[in-house]
């Protein structure tokens, strides 16, 4: 189930990135390309593994997970920024409904990461460029112009 949740999260994050309008999606590596990677780790659940004998079981919380968003220089793979959050879905919820809720929850968590990415880019687009430029120079390449904002 953990692998299925991670796959669902990956799909939801890719969809969220495709819908956002602040960044242009590139199909390759390059000097002005920043890799955006999202991870979901340390997933725990409040749903007991077996609840035999109960027709209805209500759980107080569903899932809890660490969400990480990394921005990397595409040429050097150096981390430029990292955002981390611990998210939890509280109940009460009928345990039989938990897994059908997964796509909606993963979309919500992905949306939160995109919001944090927007806040980061609005906070310091020029600083992010300077970090990218520094990483590029350390990898032996020169940059001459900042990317268009």
- Here the CATH number for the domain that contains residue 7 is 3.40.50
CA angle 109, 18, 44 (to 5 degrees): 20
Beta-carbon neighbour count of residue 124 at 10 Å?
12
In a domain, 33, yes or no: yes
In a domain, 23, yes or no: yes
In a domain, 148, yes or no: no
- Higher pLDDT: 43 or 57? It is 43
Rounded to two decimals, the pTM is 0.74
Mean pLDDT in residue range 41-70? 82
Percent of the chain at pLDDT > 70 equals 77
| Per-residue pLDDT band at 54 (split at 50, 70, 90) | low
In a domain, 8, yes or no: yes
Mean pLDDT in residue range 38-43? 92
Range of the domain at 111: 2-138
Question: Do 80 and 43 touch, CB atoms closer than 8 A?
Answer: no
Q: What is the pLDDT of residue 26?
A: 86
In a domain, 149, yes or no: no
Tally of structural domains, the chain: 1
Q: What is the pLDDT of residue 30?
A: 87
């Amino acid at each position: 189930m953990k692998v299925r949740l991670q796959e669902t999260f990956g799909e939801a994050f890719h969809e969220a990135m495709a819908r956002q309008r602040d960044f242009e999606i590139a199909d390759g590596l390059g000097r002005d390309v920043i890799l955006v990677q999202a991870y979901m780790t340390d997933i725990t659940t409040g749903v007991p593994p077996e609840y035999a004998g109960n027709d209805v079981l209500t759980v107080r919380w569903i899932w809890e997970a660490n969400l990480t968003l990394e921005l990397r220089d595409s040429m050097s793979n150096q981390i430029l920024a990292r955002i981390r959050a611990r998210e939890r879905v509280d109940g009460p919820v009928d345990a039989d409904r938990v897994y059908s809720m997964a796509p909606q929850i993963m979309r919500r968590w992905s949306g939160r990461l995109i919001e944090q990415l927007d806040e980061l880019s609005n906070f310091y687009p020029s600083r992010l460029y300077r970090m990218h430029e520094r990483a590029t120079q350390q990898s032996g390449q020169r940059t001459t112009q900042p990317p268009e904002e």
